[in-house]
Homo-oligomer: A and B are copies of this chain.
Amino acid sequence: MGTSTGQPTIVSIAERAGVSIASVSRVLNGVGARRDTVLKVERAAAELGYVPNAVARSLKGGRTRQLTFAMPDIGNPVYVAMVRAIQTVAKAAGYRLLLHSTDAVVDDELAVLRSLGDRTSDGLILCPIRITDAHIEALRTAAGPVVVIGSLPDGVPVDSVRADSVAGAALAVRHLHDTGRRRIAFVNGPADTVPGRNRDEGYRAALADCGLVYDPDLVVHTDFGIESGAEAADRLLAEGRPDAVFCANDQLALGAARALHARGLRIPEDVAVAGMDDSMLAQAGWPPLTSVDLGSTERGRRAAELLLNRLDPAEPVTETATPRSTTAPPRLVVRASTGRAAPDS
């Protein structure tokens, strides 16, 4: 029965070409071989429709040429931007991208970290929603290179890429002040997350900077999402009489805009609205949303580059290697939602 069923392997090629499997391997990898050997092997491979088995290669070589990206929720435009950037860099370097949605479940994030040990991928980019002691421990003992998108405490030997949401929030608040707003409300995300705390810090700092006082009636913490933004804005409108609403992300801002529209308030004449992330959503609404770009794309790109760099044989991961950390600068993108206030206001 000659050749057995199934996919062709180097053995089938060797048989067909009448050479050894070693020669097949050499030809296929472009290592030296006699002209007619090359020809025979190439012909046999083509006739058989041979495709090298990547799994066998990985086992032998110890590398899968796969990268893993784990983030809380692929439904969030911010993570989509990251995926896109990472995929682009990975593809260019000949790596495949493995996607993991953790649904913001801590145990899931830890499981992903541990699963680095199964050698399924050569490295991991992790975007945790929160960093617990368990995270730190898992990061210390990770079985392979990891890059974290987010803020890590000092002393954790892991590369990271950060957003500067303190500065970002400040950019937005100052811009609102510059365009004449004095009662700047703030719809923030959960208070117990790193980004939440940072944005709050930026908001307060910028207020002080502009000579405005912090008014608790003008601040709401909620979870992310359009509905939450609408509810939060409703509450603020009733209590605080703001002339601007600054939101911790674009979804919240879109929700706030909806609430304003529903009340017949004009944006930006009556109330200005600004968001954060400058996701694709910022341009979706009406009026287009002023937003602070925290560099999602840039962070994804840099994270992928850092990781690939660690995978580069020239720069092996050593316990003693100093962790590298870069911060993507925020950028204010001004659109119609924060035009000048109406003169009579």
Q: Which residues of A are at the interface with B, using a C-beta cutoff of 8 A?
A: 7, 49, 51-56, 58-59, 64, 66, 74-75, 80-81, 83-84, 87-88, 91, 96-101, 114-115, 117-120, 141, 143, 226, 254, 257-258, 261, 280-281, 283-288
Contact = CB atoms under 8 A, between A and B. Distances in A.
A-B interface, 7 closest residue pairs, ranked by CB to CB distance from nearest: A51-B117, A54-B118, A284-B284, A54-B120, A55-B58, A99-B99, A55-B59
Given A74-B84, A98-B96, A101-B84, A283 B226 contact: yes
26 contacts: A49-B117, A49-B141, A51-B117, A51-B118, A51-B143, A52-B118, A54-B119, A55-B119, A56-B59, A59-B59, A74-B80, A74-B83, A75-B81, A75-B280, A80-B80, A83-B99, A96-B100, A96-B120, A97-B99, A97-B100, A98-B98, A254-B284, A280-B281, A281-B284, A284-B284, A285-B286
A286 to B, nearest CB: 5
Q: How many copies make up the complex?
A: 2
A64 B55 contact: yes
Nearest to A117: B51
B101 A87 contact: yes
Contacts of A118: 51-54
A56 B64 CA distance: 11
A257 B280 contact: no
A114 B54 CA distance: 13
A94 to B, nearest CB: 12
